[in-house]
Amino acid sequence: MVGNGSAKSVGGELADGLAQRIISRADGVYADTAAAGRAFQAAVDGVFTEGNCFAGLNYARFIKLLFGIGPELPADEAQVRFADEIVPFNPARRALYRAARIEAGCAEYYFEPVFIEDPENPFASEVPAQLTLDEFIADMWLKGIRFGIDIAAVRAAISSGKSDRVIVARALPATAGQPAVINEVSDDLHRNDAPRQLASGKLDLMSFQNRFPQIKANARLLHKVPRKLGVAGVDLAGLALEPAIPPDLDLQPLAGPGMRIEHTAEGEFMVASADGFLNVDTASGQLSVGDKIVSYEGVSGRTTGNLQLTGDYEEFGEIQEKRVVEGENITVHADVFGNLVSRGGTISLSNNLVGGSAANARGDIRIKGVASSATVQAAFGEVTLGRAENCVISGTRVTIDHAVNCEIIADVLTLGQAEGCAIAARTVKVGAAGPRRQLEMLVYALVPDDARLNDVILQLQERVELFNMLAATRQAELDTLQNEPEVRKYVMLASKIRKKELTLTAEQVPQFQKMALAVGSQLKAIGKLSLEVKSAQAEGKSGAQLIAQLMEQKNASSGTSSVEIGELRGDVTVRTMRFNPDGSSVYHLPVKEIKARLRNGQQLGEQIAVGSAGAICWSSV
C-alpha cells in the first residue's frame, strides 16, 4: 500500500517500483514529482504494458511529468494528480485501434466506425462501438507514439463518428539557437576625415577631425553578444531532438597589443588597456592600441615645438636645442641637443646627448654614444653610458665606460675609467682613476649617519615611557575611585537601570537621585581620569609606531659601504660622506646640490686614503 489510498490497479497490485512513482488513491491517480522524467516514463510504460490505461487523464499534466514540457506543475505539491483512476484495457477493445502512419514528424490516423462482439450474444453480429480518448492514448503509447497527441483533434474525430484521416500527433521540433555576434560600441573605431572645427566655429581645412583614431584607456570598443543555445524538441517516440549548436565567436584572437577582454555583468567586451592610437589588421581583423608614435622629421621650433605625449615615442630625426620631449619609453636614433623627460619606461639614445638633458622618473637611461655637457638623472633606475664628458649624472645604479670631468652620485657606481671626476656611492668600483689637468679626482664612500636618528629614537623611547607611566598612574587612581563602596553601588544600579534590568518605583526614584548627588564629584573625577588614561595610551601607541618606522629606516640604510679602485693614475683622494638615513633618496638631488656636495665635500667626512699609484680597496665592515 502506498500513500493515503490503495495502490492497486484493476488488474492487480502495482509492482513496488511503480507504486513508488504512481500512487492510486480513492480520489485519483497521483505521480511523485521527484520521480518525473525517465523514472515516470518507465512507470507509465509498466502500467500500459500490463494491460491498463488511465481514465480521466489530464494529458497536459501527463506530458509535463513525462518530458518536462507544458504548463508548470504546482510548486508546493510533492504528489500531483494526473488521472481519475487506472482501469483495465480490454484486449477486445484494444483490437478496435488501428496503427497510425508516421511521416515527417506527424502521425496520421484513419478514423472510421468500429464494431465489437456483443459479450452477451457472441454468436450474433458485431454491434457498433466507440473509441475513447484514454484508450487511444494508451494504444498509441504501445505503438510507439508517446508524445504530441492532439487531444482536441482526437476528441473531435471520435465524437463525429465519421470516416476521416486526421493528424493525431505532432513532434515538437527543436528551436534553433542564435549564433554569437560582435557589435561595435564605440564611434572611435573609424576615421573621421572631415575638417576640424575650431572654437570660433571656422573649419581648419589642414586638419582632420580624427585622421588617426585615438582611444582612451578603458574605452569599450566591441561587445560580444553570446550565442543563444536552442531548445531541445521531442519526437513522437518521446526522444529528445537536440538542436544544432550555433557557431560561437572568440574575442581573444581579435585582441592585439593594448587590448584586453573584460567579463562583466553586462557581457564580454574588448577594452583598450591604455590611451593610444587604434590599429586594425585588415588580414586578421585584430585590433590593437599602440601608444608609440614614430617620427622621422625630428623636433624643432619650426616643425613641432615641444611635445607632450601620452605614450611611447620613437624619433629618427634630431631633437634641437631647448626643445622638450615628454613621454614614456623615448627612443631617439639621432643626436639630441634638447631635453628628454620620461615618466617611466626607458630613455634609449643610439647617438649622442650634447648640451641637453635626459631625466627619467621611473626607469632606465641608456646612451650608446657620448654624453657631453649634459645632465642625466634616473630617479629610480639605472644609467648606462659609453662615454661622459662634463656631465652631472645620478641614478640608482650607474655604469659608464669612460667618464671625464663629471659629477656622479649613485647607490652603486661602476666606472671603467675616470678622469678628474667627483663621484660618490655606497658601492664604488673603478677600473682606473686619476686627475684631469687642474681637476682632481675625488671619491666618496656614502656612509649612513645614524647619530641623529639614534638620538631621535632615544627621545621617542623616553617620551613613550613617560606616557606609559602616566597612563599607569591615572589608571591606578581610576581603579581606587571606582572601588569605593558608594560609587560601585551607584554604578551597578545605574547600569541595571540603563539596561532595563531594574525598574525603580516612585518611592525609590528620590533615593536614587540622592545617591547620584552623593557620588557626583567622584563620577566627574572618574570621567576625567578615563580621558587622561585613553589620551596617554594613544600617545604611547603613536610614539611606539613612529619608533618602529625609524628603526625600519635605520635597518634599510644599514649595510656595507665599499670603494675599489683597480689602478691609480695620479693623485686620488678617498673620503667618507655621511648622509642622513631619513628614507629619502641619496642620489635624487638637484644638479646644483650634486655639484656643491661632490666638489666641496672634503669637510663632510674622514679621509680614507690618498694615493697616486697602486690600488685602493676599502670596506666599512
Query: In this predicted model, what pLDDT tens digit does every residue of 548-584 receive, in sequence order?
Result: 776 776 665 556 789 999 999 999 999 888 877 665 6
Q: How does the average pLDDT of the chain come out, rounded?
A: 84
pLDDT value for 382: 94
pLDDT band for position 15 (cuts 50, 70, 90): low
Residue 597 has pLDDT above 70, yes or no: yes
Q: 3-class SS at 343?
A: coil
Average pLDDT over residues 449-459: 71
Residue 449 has pLDDT above 60, yes or no: yes
**Higher per-residue confidence, 335 vs 541:** 335
Rounded to two decimals, the pTM is 0.46
pLDDT value for 605: 72
pLDDT band for position 106 (cuts 50, 70, 90): very high
pLDDT band for position 124 (cuts 50, 70, 90): low
Estimate the crossing angle of helix 59-67 against helix 38-49, to 10 degrees. Answer: 130
pLDDT value for 257: 86
Average pLDDT over residues 533-549: 85
pLDDT value for 136: 96
pLDDT value for 44: 93
pLDDT value for 3: 35
Residue 9 has pLDDT above 50, yes or no: no
Average pLDDT over residues 368-373: 95
Residue that is written with C-alpha cell 450474444 in the block? 121
pLDDT band for position 236 (cuts 50, 70, 90): very high
Query: For the chain, first and last CA: distance in Å?
Result: 95
**Exposed, middle or buried: residue 451 (CB in 10 Å: 0-12, 13-18, 19+)?**
exposed
Distances in whole angstroms, Cα of residue 113 to Cα of each of 149, 212, 589? 21, 82, 111
Residue 447 has pLDDT above 50, yes or no: yes
The answer to which of 54-63, 66-75, 256-265, 295-304 has the lowest mean pLDDT is 295-304
Residue 536 has pLDDT above 60, yes or no: yes
pLDDT value for 125: 72
pLDDT value for 205: 38
Q: What is the DSSP letter of 252?
A: G
Query: In this predicted model, what pLDDT tens digit does every residue of 63-95 receive, in sequence order?
Result: 999 998 988 888 788 889 999 999 999 998 999
pLDDT value for 530: 86
pLDDT value for 450: 64
Query: In this predicted model, what pLDDT tens digit does every residue of 142-200 receive, in sequence order?
Result: 999 999 999 999 999 999 989 999 999 999 999 999 999 988 888 766 644 444 455 66
Residue type for position 268: E
- Quick one: cell of 222? 566591441
Question: Which residues in 154-282 belong to E strands, given as ranges?
Answer: 164-170, 181-184, 192-197, 203-210, 214-215, 220-225, 233-234, 240-241, 259-264, 267-272, 276-280
The answer to which of 278-287, 411-420, 454-463 has the lowest mean pLDDT is 278-287
Contacts by 539-546, CB closer than 8 A, 24 or more apart: 539/463, 539/464, 539/467, 540/464, 540/467, 540/468, 540/471, 543/460, 543/461, 543/463, 543/464, 543/467, 544/464, 546/460
Please give the Cα distance from 45 to 141 (Å, whole number).
8
